[in-house]
Structures are given as structure tokens and as C-alpha cells.
Amino acid sequence: MTRSSLPTRAVVLGTAVLTLSALAACASTPPGGGTTAVGGAYTWWDPYPQHDAASAWAKRVDACAKEAGVIVKRTAYDTTALTNQALLAGQEGNAPDVILLDNPAVSTLADAGILTTMADFGLDVNRFDKNLIAAGELDGKTYGVPIGANTLALYYNKDILDKAGVDPASIKDWASLNAALKKVKAAGKKPITFAAIGTEEGSFQFLPWFWGAGGQLTRLDSAQAVQALELWNSWVKDGIAPNSVLSNSQNTTWEEFLTGEFGFAENGTWQVNSAAKAGFPTGVVQIPAKDGGAAPTPTGGEFITVPVQKDTKRYAATKKILECMTTPEGLVETGTTFAYYIPSTAEGQQAILAKEPALKPWVEAVRSAKGRTSDNLGTAYPKISEAMWTGVQKALSGSASPADALKEAQAKAEQAVRG
């Protein structure tokens, strides 16, 4: 998932909808010039059209190109268009040297044969956190490395919790969370809001509860999955969560929280700066698993991938660019440039905490997070996710019980995956 710009990229979270949309191109050269390597300028595609050639991000890319001794031409696409354009370029044999992809899209391009593996490319991936790099794996091979990660947790309004007599440190499992929510309601405030919209964002927000109950994406109708949906359903039925969750994106959920009326809101790392500027004191707690401990939360964020090139001599400079982007210092620079990314290596995490100790809850959340395409789901994930968010919508709207909604979701997922 992404930062503050994520809500404008609603399907960023992982569906590979192959519909072209507008793009913005940003050509740049390293400050002070650079040498043209074999085959001319190196090409870099990413999903950040909001960052033009004068931005800190573009300068970051330029600096790594300069370190590799090459000129780079950067092109920025809308996320969905980027996946589409990458598939077309791969089919036509004119793929760029580097593509920065939202992590669920990595398996889509890998499955299409467009990406080289990191082993073939010669990049060591052992230093990256295993739970994070798993999102770039397919059939035992790694097709990219994360430039960072973001994920979900529960933000809280400290004023509301204080008045309701709730100690956020007491929230350890679903039972203690439910007790806290009831206290907030009894104090006359709105307990919690989240995003259950019928898009990938809805699945993204449901997954911590689904996984936290012990659910598996290959069994949407398991008893554990039903327990997770029953939890959300009870909150809506009992007035713990508003009916607006059915249409809430993560952005509208956050806007609800910023009104100061809600005790809790499920949202992501990308709201850290916004939370600091809220008109009330805020804090963060991990989303609890049903029986205790932190629930696995889904990872958001982009992977650096390397499309297959006919001229393999180009890989030498490309490797230098990737190494520059993923040093501990480089990961911290990327994290602070966007103000939402947690570095994807232990060294990088330690380095960013030295600069920003307040990010500790998010580092902890990322360390226990899980990729949506992990468990070798690959290109099956978007199909499973659509069936899941449809089931969640049916249950919360009252058109089906949680058990029946998920039974239907499982049948639809199986049919979609079979093709």
C-alpha cells in the first residue's frame, strides 16, 4: 500500500487491471552530467508521476545513476498503467532497464517472463527481511527487491482513550480490543473506523484480521476466516463501527479519524506525518491477533525489478544502480524522502530508528508483516482478493451471513483461479 498518495491509487494495492491510463514522463540526467553507457541512456520506470524531475525522489534516482556512471531517463506512470505498459514493452522486446513496481505486480510480470531473477542478475538478496522479500518471489525464485515497506496498524486518539479509561497498552488480543471499543462507546464517542470498500483497499484492511484469526487465502471459507468477518460484522451491527466503512477508502477513513470523533482508525505508515499534525494527540498500537500478539499485516510498497535485456552487458551498470538504492543509507534516504517507507533490511531499520525513533511501532509492524502474494499465490492473488472483498461487502451490508458470504467467495475464487 502506499503513502499519502496511496488513496489516489485505489487499485495500487495489487490488482493487475490492464487498462491504459495517462502517464507523465520525466527525463533527467545526473547532476554534473554522466557517461552514456553501452546502448545509450538507461531507462527507469516508476509509479510516482507526482514527483517531477525537480523532486527529491528524481534527484535520488539521478544520484544512483551518476554513481553507476550512466545517464538515466526516468518515466513515471500511474500504477495500473505501469503494469500494463511494462507487459506491452516486454512483449515487444523494448523493456526499460529498471521498473519500480507495486509489490503484488511483481509476480504478474515474472509470470509473463519479462523479469530476470535476482540470482541471474547477480544481486545478493540475503540481507533483505525474508517476510518482505517474499512478495517478490514466485516458484522459489526472487524477481525483485523492496526499496522499503509500509503496512497497517491502529492509530488512536489519546484524548478519547484517556476520557474512556482505556490504556492502549492493554490491547493485546481481540477480547481486550473489544473491551476498549465498548468503553469508548460508553463514553459517548465513536469507537473505530476502517475501510471495507469493494476494492483492493478493502481486502488490504481486512487481511490483518483474516490472518490474525489464522485464515489462509487458499481457504476463504475456513472457520478462522469466518471468525474474522464475524468480528467486523459485529462492529457494524452493534454501532462500534459506522456504516460508512462499506464505502470508505483508506483516505476517507483517515478523514473520519481526523474529525477527532473516533477512538481508533485502521490506517498505514503513510499517515505518520498527518497524524503528527492532527488537532489532538495520537498514538499507534499493533493490530492484535485473535488470541494475542501482533497480527500479520499486509505489506505495501514497491520493488525494484530488472526486465530481461537482450544486451546483457547493460546489467553491470543496472546492478550498481540497484546496489546504490538499497544500501542502509540509501534505504533510509528513500524512507525519509517519502516519509512513509520503513527500510527492508535490519541495518536500514536500525539506521532510520536512529534518526526517527518515533517510527519504532511501524518498524515492529513491518517486521511481522506479510506479502499478499506470499505463499506462492503469485497471479492468483488478485482473483482471490476480489472474491474476498466481495464477500466482506455482502456480509457487512447484511445481504448474507459471514459464513455464507465467504462460502460463495471461496467458490468464486476457485473458479477464477482455474480460469
Rg (CA), the chain: 21
- pLDDT category at 383 given cuts 50, 70, 90 is very high
Does 112 lie in the same domain as 48? yes
207 backbone φψ class: left, alpha, beta (φ>0; ψ -120 to 50): alpha
Q: What pLDDT, on a 0 to 100 scale, did the predictor assign at position 36?
A: 41
Does 165 lie in the same domain as 108? no
Q: What pLDDT, on a 0 to 100 scale, did the predictor assign at position 375?
A: 86
Does 276 lie in the same domain as 160? yes
CA distances from 115 to 71, 296, 341, 356 (A): 22, 28, 24, 35
For residue 16, being part of any structural domain is answered with: yes
Structural contact between residues 96 and 85, judged by C-beta atoms closer than 8 angstroms = no
DSSP of 261-277, one letter per residue? Answer: -EEEEEEEGGGHHHHHT
Alpha helices in 238-298 (DSSP H): 250-258, 272-276
Does 385 lie in the same domain as 280? yes
For residue 134, being part of any structural domain is answered with: yes
Q: What pLDDT, on a 0 to 100 scale, did the predictor assign at position 329?
A: 94
Task: Give me the CATH number covering residue 402.
Answer: 3.40.190.10
Cell numbers 510480470 correspond to 109
Q: What pLDDT, on a 0 to 100 scale, did the predictor assign at position 105?
A: 93
Does 243 lie in the same domain as 281? yes
CA distances from 122 to 63, 117, 132 (A): 22, 9, 19
Does 290 lie in the same domain as 216? yes
Reported as a single tens digit per residue, the pLDDT across 364-376 is 999 999 999 988 8
Q: What pLDDT, on a 0 to 100 scale, did the predictor assign at position 28?
A: 40
Q: What pLDDT, on a 0 to 100 scale, did the predictor assign at position 78?
A: 87
Does 249 lie in the same domain as 176? yes
For residue 264, being part of any structural domain is answered with: yes
Q: What pLDDT, on a 0 to 100 scale, did the predictor assign at position 205?
A: 98
- Number of residues assigned to the chain: 419
CA distances from 285 to 156, 158, 339, 365 (A): 8, 12, 19, 9
Q: What pLDDT, on a 0 to 100 scale, did the predictor assign at position 40?
A: 72
Q: What pLDDT, on a 0 to 100 scale, did the predictor assign at position 13?
A: 32
Structural contact between residues 32 and 66, judged by C-beta atoms closer than 8 angstroms = yes
Closest by CA position to 31, among listed 67, 75, 85, 84? 67
In the chain, how many domains are there? 2
For residue 1, being part of any structural domain is answered with: no
In the predicted structure, residue 273 carries a pLDDT above the cut 80: yes
Does 340 lie in the same domain as 404? no
In the predicted structure, residue 8 carries a pLDDT above the cut 60: no
Does 32 lie in the same domain as 108? yes
In the predicted structure, residue 18 carries a pLDDT above the cut 70: no
Q: How far apart are the first and last CA of the chain?
A: 27
Does 342 lie in the same domain as 314? yes
Does 410 lie in the same domain as 263? yes
Reported as a single tens digit per residue, the pLDDT across 64-103 is 999 999 999 999 998 889 999 999 999 999 999 999 999 9
For residue 197, being part of any structural domain is answered with: yes
3-state SS class at 246: helix
Taking residue 154's Cβ as centre, other Cβ atoms within 10 Å add up to: 24
Q: Which of 367, 386, 410 is the last residue of a domain?
A: 367
Which residues, 6 or more positions from 25, have their beta carbon under 8 angstroms from its beta carbon?
Answer: 75, 76
pLDDT higher for 25 or 286?
A: 286
Q: What pLDDT, on a 0 to 100 scale, did the predictor assign at position 2?
A: 43
Q: What are phi and psi of 295, to 5 degrees?
A: -75, 145
For residue 372, being part of any structural domain is answered with: no
- pLDDT category at 340 given cuts 50, 70, 90 is confident
Report residue 203 as a C-alpha cell: 481486502
β-pairing, 190-193 vs 98-102, is: unpaired
For residue 191, being part of any structural domain is answered with: yes
For residue 389, the enclosing domain spans 152-297+377-418
Does 310 lie in the same domain as 248? no
**How far is the C-alpha of 364 from the C-alpha of 295, rounded, in Å?**
11
Which residues, 6 or more positions from 178, have their beta carbon under 8 angstroms from its beta carbon?
Answer: none
Closest by CA position to 301, among listed 150, 200, 153? 150
Q: What pLDDT, on a 0 to 100 scale, did the predictor assign at position 262?
A: 98
Q: Which of 341, 367, 393 is the last residue of a domain?
A: 367
Q: Would you give the DSSP letter of residue 144?
A: -
Q: Would you give the DSSP letter of residue 407?
A: H
